[in-house]
Chains A and B, each alone.
Chain A
Amino acid sequence: MSDIAERVKKIVVEHLGVEAAQVKEDAKFIDDLGADSLDTVELVMAFEEEFGIEIPDDAAEKIQTVGDAIGFIKGNAKS
């Protein structure tokens, strides 16, 4: 399952252009990693694609930190 965390972090690094060291589980996308609201939408889209899942809008709104994303995906990923 730690594989999921690594894949999530990789997407965040690539998408937001931040250093891997900054992408801690308690890091907030907007406050700590410099994402804007559109970036968060795009991150959710990237997670959906990577993990083959659908993240509904109400769930997506609650994903504010890297850890939130990992937690949601672990709970919903197919494989």
Chain B
Amino acid sequence: MFDLSGKAALVTGASGGIGGAIAKALHKQGAIVTLSGTRADALEQLKAALGERAHVVAAKMDDAADIDRLAKEAEAAMGKLDILVNNAGITRDNISMRMKDEEWEKVLQVNLTGTFRLTRAAMRGMMKRRFGRVINITSIVGVTGNPGQANYAAAKAGLIGMSKSLAQELASRGITVNCVAPGFIATPMTDALTDDQKKAILGRVPADRLGTPEEIASGVVYLASDEAGYVTGQTLHINGGMAMI
């Protein structure tokens, strides 16, 4: 089950906690992976840890030309692109009353526009080969909202609507487009929270613990597999029961 041997995958934001786990999991299932992100040294470290079947193409997701280059170089390195995991994302949290235009725009630019551009660039080859898996990492807050994250929640909700539209456009070509929506996951980002903050969060999680990046990666592996070929336009929530939607 879920054998990805011979499949070629591109993971953005692969230097982060969740992105790294996704890349490792796809690789473990046999896929060739291209790691993308902005921190080239962290990507090279991950590549070295993976060994064979791994490539690095650093790129900035707020730069249209860089995104086109990323798609081309990833396809050139792997010979094709079957699985695209749009995981790159940033936060610029602030209450809306104080949110600057730049904070709003930057988050939309990277998390939503960048994802659209990269997906569009990847579609051509997928259409030709009649196979593709696009998996967009959204967030629970894209569905529930979150104070202080109007920009992030808007971008993540946007990804869900975008994915449903793309799913309808591309389904007849063997390309599926789905989202994975993590809840609170143990990463360097959540490590920065105070104990009180963590306690408050866990009070809302029936599983009474943070999730792990590997638990997100498992969902991605499933959606990337041949077995998930009839699943498209969906959002898989992995959140310990924090929201049941």
Contact = CB atoms under 8 A, between A and B. Distances in A.
Interface of A: 38, 41-42, 45
B64 interface: no
Given A38-B169, A38-B172, A45-B128, 8 more contacts: A38-B127, A38-B170, A38-B173, A41-B127, A42-B127, A42-B128, A45-B124, A45-B127
Mostly helix, strand, loop or mixed at chain B's interface? helix
Contacts of B124: 45
Name the interface size band of chain B: under 10
Interface in B168-187: 169-170, 172-173
Contacts of A41: 127
Contacts, number: 11
A74 B3 CA distance: 46
A73 to B, nearest CB: 19
Contacts of B128: 42, 45
B233 to A, nearest CB: 16
Interface in B94-133: 124, 127-128
Nearest to B170: A38
Q: Closest 10 CB pairs between A and B?
A: A42-B127, A45-B124, A45-B128, A38-B169, A38-B173, A38-B172, A45-B127, A41-B127, A38-B127, A38-B170
Nearest to B125: A45
Contacts of A45: 124, 127-128
Contacts of B170: 38
A41 B128 CA distance: 11
Contacts of A42: 127-128
Nearest to A39: B172
A58 to B, nearest CB: 16
Nearest to A49: B128
Interface string B125-163: 001100000000000000000000000000000000000
Contacts of B169: 38
A41 B147 CA distance: 42
Contacts of B172: 38
A42 B129 CA distance: 11
Interface string B45-88: 00000000000000000000000000000000000000000000
11 contacts: A38-B127, A38-B169, A38-B170, A38-B172, A38-B173, A41-B127, A42-B127, A42-B128, A45-B124, A45-B127, A45-B128
Contacts of B127: 38, 41-42, 45
